[in-house]
Amino acid sequence: ARCLIHPLLLAGCSSTSPGIPNIFLISLYYENYPPVFDPAQVDPGVTTAIANIVGQAQLEVRVGYFGICVNADGGSFLCSNNASSLASQVSVDQDPLNLIWVASTFKDSIVFPYL
């Protein structure tokens, strides 16, 4: 089973072929939820400030070994190995906290596909 799973993981998020965007290492996305305040928070107002910045964003970013897939509006995924080209396809309102950049940084700094 390991011989089959590893090549699939390597292919994940490398194209928009059917099923490929559904094979990924990590998914980052915006989710609207009521703020949770905790006494351990030095500045509980930050939660509300971030919620105001995020607004109605619903973007999802998935990271694979060799690419990133972005779903900006609940439709289909756009996949590429070039995060800049993906970022140029979305507006600031769709990715207000730069999740595409965070995903790219994760892929380039943490993920090592040559096992």
pLDDT interval class at 45 (50, 70, 90): confident
pLDDT digits (tens, 9 = 90+) for 51-107: 999 999 999 999 988 889 999 988 889 999 999 999 999 999 999 999 999 999 999
92 close to 54: Cβ distance less than 8 angstroms: no
Whether this prediction's pTM lies above 0.75 is answered by yes
Return the HEC string of 29-87.
ECCCCCCCCCCCCCCCHHHHHHHHHHCCCCCEEEECCCCEEEECCCCCCEEECCHHHHH
Comparing 90 with 112, the larger pLDDT belongs to 90
Token pair listed for 105: 């940084």
Q: Residue range 27-42: average pLDDT?
A: 88
